[in-house]
Amino acid sequence: MAGGDSPAETKKGSSKTSKNTKDSSKESTLKQKSPAEFFAENKNIAGFDNPGKSLYTTVRELVENALDSSESISELPEVEVTIEEIGKSKFNSMIGLIDRERVDTKLYDDYETDKAREKRLVKEARASEIQAKNLASGKKNKEPGVSKVLKARGEASYYKVTCKDNGKGMPHDDIPNMFGRVLSGTKYGLKQTRGKFGLGAKMALIWSKMSTGLPIEISSSMKSQNYVTFCRLDIDIHRNIPHIHLHEKKANKEKWHGAEIQVVIEGNWTTYRSKILHYMRQMAVITPYAQFLFRFISETPEKNVTVKFTRRTDVMPPIPIETKHHPSSVDLLLIKRLVTDTSKKTLLQFLQNEFVNINKNLAARLIGEMGPDFSPGMAVKSVTSQQMVRIHQLFRQAKFDDPSGDCLSPAGEYNLRLGIIKELHPDMVATHSGSAQVFEGHPFIVEAGVSVGGRDVKQASHILLLFIHGINIFRFANRIPLLFEQGGDVVTRTALKRINWNSYKINQTQDKIGVFVSIVSTKIPFKGTGKEYIGDDISEIATAVKSAIQQCCIQLKSKIVKRLQAREQQERKRSLSRYIPDATGAVYEVLKQMTEEHTKKRKRYKEEETAMLEKVSKLIITKETLKEKLAEHVEQVDYEMALEYATQSGVSEEPRENIYLQQLNPNHSNFIDLQSPTFVFRLIL
């Protein structure tokens, strides 16, 4: 057929068309991901970037959960953390694998070819020859570089992480969902919390599932329970549900309460050892009322580490209180959710009871401003989407009182100062706790401490000056340490760029300066996916941080000036005292000559002078007497000069009073604690 397609070609074309249609339908099929699957694929968001960071984040999550659990029942926390290194053979036996020797060595990633081996040997021989020449000529040899040894990608390091606490414990039936279902928990209300994502140990379980395939083990018991719950489970990533291996009750013979969590994960202790230990130390600084025991158990006993951070006080901060939303902090989606979840009937009751700082009178005024479509008695469930937009617009434009900071739980000046002194032993320390302030409708409190000198605080060197200018910065958000991404943090930028340390008599290059800043809020404005630093773009927080550090510096300046005054006083006294013997000898010789002239009546003296010369002749005034009088005069002059210097410097001598503290009898249970920034006075009733 001219100009037409053959039947075979038509059939072939239609077949091809149907195939393309089938492929496109496959591509256009909608797929869903569970929350667990999302975090498994984007584990870096939760701090599981690599094996080393995953080990650190696992320890951090477990420790913070333990502290929250203990504090929720006002129990002084006792936390034990153990990281046990697991070798390849032991790990294989745990999962039921038998060790197998390599058969085809060329198949492995760390195989070294003959050419590569020859090249390496030539390089090592050349380096040895250069070292021999340098040794012969007296030149200093460089440290020999470590030859790179290829490591197979499959040679991972495994660790068993265990965390035990004396906290609240968990209900028997809730444990599977608390660990095996992502985005389910008890910390999703509006209040100050330590967690960043609400994942807790769930992300550690997901990482364990991805890296080892082993389940997590939980032991838990609540107060007054006569049994201990034991649960072994893992998580179904795709369905976001727990997969329970064992869930049983055991006898609680020791009357223990708390939780013990054990998980086996891939990690890297070598690269993150310092980070984990720094985290534990900084946690001991911000929570001196807690006791921490950290152990690292290696396959080689020489590498074992045991560190105990003892409790220094029994004064705990108040428990954070869940609060309601401030009208200026809500968005349209939140308003819709509050309308859906509220138990109130009318719009007036809804505004009055679901938000802070809206009383009945203000709620009525807001409803009147919304327009004729709104009335105080209208059913809140009947509010339309358009009307919710109007409510949201009015919330953004209206003026409301700032929320109070009563719902927050800062560490407190006493605990912050005590933690700094306990762990760093500084020469001087000053602390300051600011009043509650607000950003975007969320209250926040900034506490700061500045120390000079101490243990484990580095002095500025050439290298340190390039990075932190001799200042050691310790950052805390909702009472947890922040160790990563320090450069962009508001605390770092404020300490380096906005504080003139010289004006406070602090030498930035010579003194060992420690800057401690703790920020607590119902919403910490973290930056970045990892939530490891607070941005410098919120003026309210930046101003509060600067003010808190400056208040500490003002306190330190007073102490430093007094110390300089005492040092100068000692120098003046030392200088004057150096000339007392010579001055005494010269004056006494003159007095002796005058006495001889008076005795021989060669010269007449006044009555007062004559009386003094008679004392010299009778040895009432001797060389030693003059020395004592001169020493007393030096003391008096030195005191007057120091007082004048202190007055000019604006430092007054404060009255001092002896304080006698009665020994605390452990049998006394009735007492009242009166807290101040520097001490706690306990009144025994």
Q: According to the annotation, is 454 in a ligand binding site?
A: no
Q: According to the annotation, is 43 in a ligand binding site?
A: no
Closest listed residue to residue 517, CA positions, set 569, 448, 453, 454: 448
Q: According to the annotation, is 467 in a ligand binding site?
A: no
Q: According to the annotation, is 478 in a ligand binding site?
A: no
DSSP structural state of residue 129: H
Closest listed residue to residue 45, CA positions, set 206, 197, 200, 240: 197
Q: According to the annotation, is 199 in a ligand binding site?
A: yes
CB distance 529 to 478 below 8 Å: no
Beta strands 442-452 and 437-439 are antiparallel
Residues in the chain: 685
Helix axis angle, 623-649 to 539-578, nearest 10°: 160
CB distance 265 to 161 below 8 Å: yes
Instruction: Calculate the alpha carbon distances from 127 to 112, 122, 130, 195 in Å.
Output: 20, 9, 5, 52
CA distance linking residue 258 with residue 165, whole number of Å: 5
Distance from the Cα of residue 609 to its chain's centroid: 74
Beta strands 78-86 and 241-251 are unpaired
Beta strands 227-236 and 437-439 are unpaired
CA distance linking residue 158 with residue 95, whole number of Å: 12
| Tokens read off for 392 | 């949201």
CA distance linking residue 168 with residue 224, whole number of Å: 11
CA distance linking residue 179 with residue 204, whole number of Å: 10
Q: According to the annotation, is 527 in a ligand binding site?
A: no
Instruction: Calculate the alpha carbon distances from 346 to 88, 269, 358, 363, 376 in Å.
Output: 65, 58, 15, 11, 7
CB distance 202 to 261 below 8 Å: no
Q: According to the annotation, is 623 in a ligand binding site?
A: no
Q: According to the annotation, is 195 in a ligand binding site?
A: yes
Q: According to the annotation, is 601 in a ligand binding site?
A: no
Binding site, by residue number, is 65, 165, 186-187, 195-202, 531
Binding site for ATP, by residue number, is 65, 165, 186-187, 195-202, 531
